[in-house]
Amino acid sequence: MTSERFPWTHMKASSTRPAGPSTGYSHPSCYAKELSDCSTGISKEHYISKGLLVEMGGKPQIAGFKFQTQDTLRRVGVEALTSRILCKRHNNCLSPLDTEAQRCLGALRTFDADLQDGRTPTSDEVTINGADLECWMLKVLIGMNHAKILDSISVRRNASMIRILFGRERWPSGWGLYVLARREVSHAFAGIEILTRPVGSEIWAADFDIAGFLFMLSLGTPSGGGREHLYRPAGLILSRTDHEARKRLTFGWPRRPHADYVGFARRGQYDGARPQDEGLVPE
């Protein structure tokens, strides 16, 4: 249940509906064709947003895609991770989501760098549109699925995910963004890791590790998550155990958040590979 005791930064979700009257056209290659509001031109869609790829250096290492050998790393250019899966009209109106995801990654990386050992951190705050970040995660899942780089066949078939993404329907209660407050040690890193949670051949949830902070997009109401799964929280607070400075990543929401800020404390420096990456080899 939503509580009024949690801090609330009010922020409307960006509009993802194409401007102007409906075109009445369905482009056969656009994954939003069911909305009958396409343009005639198809575009190259970065299923992992171009801004994020640039934020990660413009030539990120990738692993786990369907077209790769298992347990290998491949360095690719930004334009390699594209597919013609959206018309220009629908692609353009999703740009605000990409912008917020890039800002989120950039803020977390900057915060973590300032909290490293040997530095004197300062307290500061960045506000991110939580609803836009939530929809960006859905955009990524739908895009990767339609680009056929995942083993799963679809993103939860019996739900109106396309209509939610393009602002035609609201998220059902309990669906959407969660922050996972893990008890075990996690390792900050410079990129993004996505782990889908399929039910049969359908994706019903996915974990998004953004710079070492774990989010989950749930296309359903999670069962048994307890206090470790925090639904649409007020934000994240990053700190260092030996310093009073606080870094605050605030999430703006159209409605009151369902959980308070989630705290993460840096306990030391670690320069090796993350444990989950140690078995990966260059392809």
Q: What is the pLDDT of residues 141-173, one digit of tens each?
A: 999 899 888 777 789 987 899 999 999 999 999
- On the CB side of 99, how many CA atoms lie within 13 Å of its CA? 10
- pTM, to two decimals: 0.91
What residue spans define the domains of the chain?
Answer: 21-282
pLDDT computed for residue 275 by the predictor: 64
Residue 30 binned pLDDT confidence (cut-offs 50, 70, 90): very high
- Assess contact for 240 and 215: CB atoms under 8 A: no
Percent of the chain with pLDDT over 70: 86
Distance, in Å, from the CA atom of 49 to the CA atom of 99, rounded to the nearest integer, reads: 9
DSSP letter string, 125-159: EEEEEHHHHHHHHHHHHHHHHHTT-SSSSEE-TTS
pLDDT computed for residue 75 by the predictor: 77
- Assess contact for 233 and 251: CB atoms under 8 A: yes
Residue 273 binned pLDDT confidence (cut-offs 50, 70, 90): low
pLDDT reading at 65 higher than 90: no
- Assess contact for 205 and 219: CB atoms under 8 A: yes
Tokens of 90: 């629908």
- Assess contact for 115 and 121: CB atoms under 8 A: yes
pLDDT computed for residue 149 by the predictor: 83
Percent of the chain with pLDDT over 90: 56
SS3 116: coil
Q: What is the pLDDT of residues 169-197, one digit of tens each?
A: 999 999 999 998 876 666 777 788 888 89
**Higher-confidence position of 23 and 118:** 23
Tokens of 167: 């602002």
Distance, in Å, from the CA atom of 247 to the CA atom of 252, rounded to the nearest integer, reads: 16
- Assess contact for 13 and 129: CB atoms under 8 A: yes
Mean pLDDT for all residues in the chain: 87
Tell me what the mean pLDDT of segment 39-56 comes to. 85
Distance, in Å, from the CA atom of 247 to the CA atom of 112, rounded to the nearest integer, reads: 9
- Assess contact for 206 and 217: CB atoms under 8 A: yes
**Higher-confidence position of 268 and 119:** 119
Distance, in Å, from the CA atom of 133 to the CA atom of 11, rounded to the nearest integer, reads: 12
Spell out a b/e string for 192-212, using b for 16 or more CB atoms within 10 Å of the CB, else e: bbbebbbeeebbbbbbbbbbb
Distance, in Å, from the CA atom of 133 to the CA atom of 131, rounded to the nearest integer, reads: 5
Distance, in Å, from the CA atom of 131 to the CA atom of 110, rounded to the nearest integer, reads: 22
Distance, in Å, from the CA atom of 13 to the CA atom of 242, rounded to the nearest integer, reads: 37
Q: How far is CA 179 from CA 33, 79, 96, 232, 235, in A?
A: 32, 30, 21, 7, 9
Tell me what the mean pLDDT of segment 68-81 comes to. 73
